[in-house]
Amino acid sequence: MGKLIGYIKQYIAFVKKEFNGYSKNVKIAIYVMLFFTAGFFVFGIQILFWGLGYTDMSNFYPFGQWIIGDLGLVGLGGGAFTTGFLLYIFRNDKLEPLISSTVLIGFLCYLFTFVFLVFDIGQPIRAFFIYMYPNWGPGLMPASMLTEVAWCLTFYFLILCVELTPVVLKHKVLDAIPVLKYIGHYLHRLMWIFAAGGTFLSFFHQGSLGGGMWDVMYGKASWFRAHHIYFFVVIILATAGGTAFMTLCAYVAGKVMKKEVVPKETFNSIAKVSGVMFVVYFAARLADVILMGTSWVPLFDRSYLSNLGGYYGLWMIVLEFIFIAGAIVLLLVKKFREDEKTFRLGIISGVMVMLTTKLHVVLNGSSVPNFPWKDFIGYNPTIQEWFIMLGGLSIMALIYMWFVKYTPLFPHVEQHGHHEGEAKAAE
């Protein structure tokens, strides 16, 4: 017992020493994140034990902030499968220095999608029903898009766990154990199989959670699209916005560490991919908006423009297109891509496209009135919703920081002889 207390004391002293090594800004950021994390647990318990009455969702507005979080995280996490696919299947070796970071971000995004879902469903204790009583319908085609989402997310999450294993095994303590070292090495060599499987699964759940889930609602003028058009639009967005997010995370990590975490050519290569995909997304989204206005919404004897009223209407679509244009110009034009400031703006624009489109889908879609005599509905998330959302994101950031510091997440830093971690660099 005395030995255990000794170890704990030793560990606390170690954490204190590490923490004191950080710069003032990093310390403030950690304090803020720990504050949100504490709120996440407090309000999380309240929601799980006392119910969703504490949210601003209602019978007229059943989807809120956590669903936006789910859509956004899965969409942004989509950069993991795109990068994996480009590296292991297309053999774009320039992306190698970024892959561990993308796998980790993908893993965190998917993990927290599940976490937010647990809070979002009214009966989390019955969550396993989705595996036990799935609504498959005849044949292999699932009847419910959510059934498909849950199954695909689960399988892809398992793949991400396997993909992440070699990264975890490179931790200096685990790396010293020969068996684990070999397992990590051979898993790494098999990674193309997982990348291919992950891409296959990702195509389905990206499309079904981001798009298919919404476009099948044939009773709702704000969401319905015939022929699953939105399903495909969203897959393109995941490849474009996801890669931009992966780049942004690595870029921010580099800025905090004050080091070159990945070579410039890696950023260049992935930014080009993102830019090209944004061109495709621009065409797809434009077609989607035009079809909504001319074909799908008129089926309900309503006008698309009238659906774009309320607090989250037309301006969000305009904003989305501005961000798309920004991402395309800043990521595709060589001059802008190679200039750090404009490159940074470009990847931020890419991530913002994802954010605005998800916000628009959920907020505007839910707020559109179902009866002509009703008005648009507003949604004002409660403190519980904010803390769980921001707390979840903070935990993700903290885990990412841990990996950056204690595992060789960016092998490029190691190869170039920078062994000191974030702490020393931040001094």
Partner 1 sequence: MAIDLDKCTGCGACAIACAQENNMPIFEDDSDIPKRVSFLELMKVTNDRDAKYPDVEVCYIPKMCQQCEGNDPKNPKPPCVSVCPVVATDVGDDGIVSQVWSRCIGCRYCQASCPYEARAFNWWKPRYEGDFKNSLNPEVSIASRGTVVKCQFCSHIWKRERDRAVENGVLDINAVTYTPACVASCPTKAFVFGDLNDPDSELCRLLEKEKDRKFRLVHTIDEKDEKTREKLMHIKNFPNPKVYYLTSKAWIREMMRFK
Please give the residue ranges that form the binding site for partner 1 (CB under 8 A). 50-53, 55, 57-63, 120-123, 126-127, 129-130, 132-135, 137, 143-147, 149-150, 213, 216-220, 224, 226, 299-303, 306, 366, 370-373
Q: Quick one: 35 or 114, whose CB is closer to partner 1?
A: 114
Q: Quick one: 55 or 199, whose CB is closer to partner 1?
A: 55
Q: Quick one: 194 or 296, whose CB is closer to partner 1?
A: 296
Alpha carbon distances (Å) from 283 to 23, 237, 280, 288? 45, 11, 5, 9
Cβ of residue 74: shortest distance to partner 1, in angstroms? 15
Q: Rounded distance, CA 5 to CA 378, Å?
A: 53
Cβ of residue 69: shortest distance to partner 1, in angstroms? 15
Q: Rounded distance, CA 316 to CA 293, Å?
A: 16
Q: Rounded distance, CA 354 to CA 316, Å?
A: 12
Cβ of residue 133: shortest distance to partner 1, in angstroms? 5
Instruction: Give, in degrees to the nearest 5, the angle at Cα 110 between 107 and 115.
Output: 120
- Nearest CA-CA partner of 120 in 399, 364, 375, 362: 362
Q: Quick one: 209 or 261, whose CB is closer to partner 1?
A: 209
Q: Quick one: 4 or 132, whose CB is closer to partner 1?
A: 132
Q: Quick one: 194 or 304, whose CB is closer to partner 1?
A: 304
Q: Quick one: 286 or 299, whose CB is closer to partner 1?
A: 299
Q: Rounded distance, CA 104 to CA 205, Å?
A: 19
Cβ of residue 369: shortest distance to partner 1, in angstroms? 9
- Identify whether the C-beta of residue 211 lies closer than 8 Å to the C-beta of residue 63: no
Separation of first and last alpha carbons in the chain: 37
In sequence order, the 6+-apart residues with CB closer than 8 A to the CB of 133 are none
Cβ of residue 123: shortest distance to partner 1, in angstroms? 5
Cβ of residue 317: shortest distance to partner 1, in angstroms? 20
186-209 in b/e form (b: 16+ CB < 10 A) is ebbeebeebbbbbbebbbbbbbbb
Cβ of residue 305: shortest distance to partner 1, in angstroms? 12
- Identify whether the C-beta of residue 225 lies closer than 8 Å to the C-beta of residue 62: no
Q: Quick one: 11 or 133, whose CB is closer to partner 1?
A: 133
Cβ of residue 267: shortest distance to partner 1, in angstroms? 39
- Identify whether the C-beta of residue 332 lies closer than 8 Å to the C-beta of residue 293: no
Q: Quick one: 100 or 367, whose CB is closer to partner 1?
A: 367
Alpha carbon distances (Å) from 235 to 27, 32, 198? 38, 34, 14
- Identify whether the C-beta of residue 251 lies closer than 8 Å to the C-beta of residue 347: yes
- Tell me how long the chain is: 427
Cβ of residue 376: shortest distance to partner 1, in angstroms? 13
3-class secondary-structure state, position 259: coil
